[in-house]
A and B are shown apart, each in its own frame.
Chain A
Amino acid sequence: MSLFVLSIGFGLITASILAIASVGFTLQFGVTNILNLAYGDVMTGAAFIAYLVTRAGGSLWAALLAGAITGSLASYVLNRFLYTPFVRHGTRLFGMIIVTISVSLVLQNGLQAIFGASFFSLVLPRTASYGFAGMIFTGQQLLIMGIAVVAMAVVHSLLSYTRLGRAMRATAADPELARGCGVATDRVVGVAWLMSGALCGIAGVTLVMNVTSFSSTTGGSFLIPVVAAAVLGGVGHPYGAMIGALVIGLASEVSAAFVNPAYKEVVAFGVLVVVLLVRPQGIFAEIATQKEVVA
């Protein structure tokens, strides 16, 4: 029983990181219809920048900020100067997936070439541990959950209550119609990549805050549960991704405690397969409309 409670604690932490990551991932797809499989490697890039900041004596906050900026700019540049030109030349959904896989390989190998094929850890001060109802968290893990809650609240407020949020939702629903309402969709898409990229960067830093060491492939292997959470929630739906993250995070950590940690990803996929069998459109998608990539 206590192992179960303990593993729920781990699940909540994993779910927090997953939520930040999969909301960013799903926003990219929702607004531009590009399934960016290089997302995990941008996370790794942000983690390495955060690592450099902490090694140079910077605080954890400075590392998080640097990671967010790295993710944001890298994602914006990727979309603006690589993905968008491909889309303008007529590459569609499936072709774009191949393009993003290529970017993933280039990023992963580039990071390995720069930093080497070894393992790294953020240079962070030790923090005390806190117990809650049988679960134990370090100060940093509490921080991760706090960041996730704040990030989700910010995304929710932005989408629901701001003009930019309305423009983003309209662009995601129908870019041509949004343009007909006066939305400068190009600019909205740019902002969406900056924003989702910041989430990607923060997710990368929180991911490596929570592991003893990371390498150039860490973000790439985390992509599987990220995609699982996003698909589970109905790709393109931020609230669905939040719920999907909770489900995948809890399921994989609880099962890891009782079965074998090596099966975490199998469990993530297992949950995904079962949900897709029952509800192919994901948990949240109201409409499974065929959309084209936004140029």
Chain B
Amino acid sequence: MPTSSASPVRPETLLEVRGFGVGYGGAPIVDDLDLTVGNGEIVAVIGPNGSGKSTLLKGLTGRAQVVHGSVLLAGADVTSHREDKLCRLGLGFVPQHKDVFPTLTVEDNLKMGGYLLARSKIGRRVDEVLEVFPALAPMRQRTAVRLSGGERKMLAIGRVLMLEPKLLLLDEPTAGLSPELARHLLHDQLPALVSRGVSILLVEQKALDALTVSDWGYVLVGGGVQISGPARDLLERPDIREVFLGSAARPAVPARANP
């Protein structure tokens, strides 16, 4: 019996999240969530503002309290591990805000990202990372506060790449970027990273763009996974387009005439 579109076989699991509950001391914000990222995949987590996307990533990186559930990274239990341990195990997190050291130069930010490397290897790794983001190369000595939004985000990702992570967690990397820069980051740079052997868990509000570059997608609503499936299929579902286009079109506060 033929099916219209065979569900693609997912690659070997790199990150496995089971029955995950995360909160800040009160009732859990993310509740009973299952999610996997396969080797070499880009997996998008999309959902409206306040749906718990950042909280999910904070739970994965020991920044928020895990109430229940487990996290396996390449088979090893890393539930509630803090980032200084996680980055030794190949997980790199680029938070939405406070993602670089603002008073340090581009080069010193990258060197700080290579804190765990042997001193003799740091210089070479900085050069390698600057090859990934050539736009940053002429700005080595520029202080991070003086970078544009796009340059700053590249630096933040570059800082994490210093340790050659297997899995990259990105929290709304395109927030505050111009549409062209956002497209460049999502459509050109993320696939380029994957071709270098990095898998990516991408949290985005720009849902349609995110799904377009992803292999798999999860739609988060009210702290739980509402829908998940191959990104290609999600893109074709009219209800998803409607939810995201609809929620984007509807203003958060009812419009009121100015007196």
Contacts and interface: CB of A to CB of B under 8 A. Distances in A.
Contacts of B151: none
Interface stretch (B33-41, B93-101, B199-207, B249-257): B93-101
Contact of A286 (B63, B103, B113): B103
Interface string A168-198: 0010011011111111110000000000000
Interface string B95-139: 100111111100000001101100100000000000000000000
B238 to A, nearest CB: 39
Contact of A181 (B82, B87, B95): B87
Interface in B78-92: 82-84, 87-88, 92
A167 B101 CA distance: 12
A183 B113 CA distance: 10
B163 interface: yes
A287 interface: yes
A289 B117 CA distance: 29
Given A166-B112, A166-B115, A179 B101 contact: no
A184 B92 CA distance: 15
B237 to A, nearest CB: 35
B83 A176 contact: yes
Contact of A184 (B84, B100, B101, B103): B84
A182 B82 contact: no
Nearest to A167: B115
Given A166-B112, A182-B115, A174 B87 contact: no
B92 to A, nearest CB: 8
Contacts of A286: 103
Contacts of B153: none
B36 to A, nearest CB: 23
B159 interface: yes
Contacts of B113: 181
Contact of B87 (A176, A180, A185, A287): A180
A178 B116 CA distance: 11
B247 to A, nearest CB: 30
Given A176-B83, A286-B103, A287-B103, A181 B115 contact: yes
A173 B101 contact: yes
Given A166-B112, A176-B63, A176-B83, A182 B99 contact: no
Given A182-B115, A182-B163, A286-B103, A174 B82 contact: no
A286 B145 CA distance: 12
A182 B84 CA distance: 4
A146 to B, nearest CB: 32
B87 A182 contact: yes
Contacts of A185: 84
Contacts of A163: 115, 119
A181 B163 CA distance: 9
Contacts of B160: 180
A170 B116 CA distance: 13
Given A166-B115, A167-B115, A182 B101 contact: no
Nearest to B102: A287
A181 B159 contact: yes
A186 to B, nearest CB: 9
A286 to B, nearest CB: 6
A173 B103 contact: yes
Contacts of A178: 112
Given A170-B112, A182-B116, A182-B163, A177 B102 contact: no
Contacts of A170: 101, 112, 115
Given A181-B112, A182-B163, A174 B84 contact: no
Contacts of B61: 180
Interface string B157-198: 001100100000000000000000000000000000000000
Nearest to A181: B115
Nearest to A287: B103
A66 B95 CA distance: 45
Contacts of B101: 170, 173-174, 177
In order of increasing CB-CB distance, the 10 nearest A-B pairs are: A182-B116, A179-B83, A181-B115, A180-B83, A179-B84, A182-B87, A182-B115, A184-B84, A181-B112, A182-B84
29 contacts: A163-B115, A163-B119, A166-B112, A170-B101, A170-B112, A173-B101, A173-B103, A173-B104, A174-B98, A174-B101, A176-B83, A177-B95, A177-B101, A180-B61, A180-B83, A180-B92, A180-B95, A181-B84, A181-B87, A181-B112, A181-B113, A181-B115, A181-B116, A181-B159, A182-B83, A182-B84, A185-B84, A287-B102, A287-B103
Interface of A: 163, 166-167, 170, 173-174, 176-185, 286-287
Interface of B: 61, 63, 82-84, 87-88, 92-93, 95, 98-104, 112-113, 115-116, 119, 159-160, 163
Given A176-B83, A183-B115, A287-B103, 18 more contacts: A163-B115, A167-B115, A173-B101, A173-B103, A173-B104, A174-B101, A176-B98, A178-B112, A179-B83, A179-B84, A180-B92, A180-B93, A181-B84, A181-B87, A181-B113, A182-B87, A182-B88, A182-B163
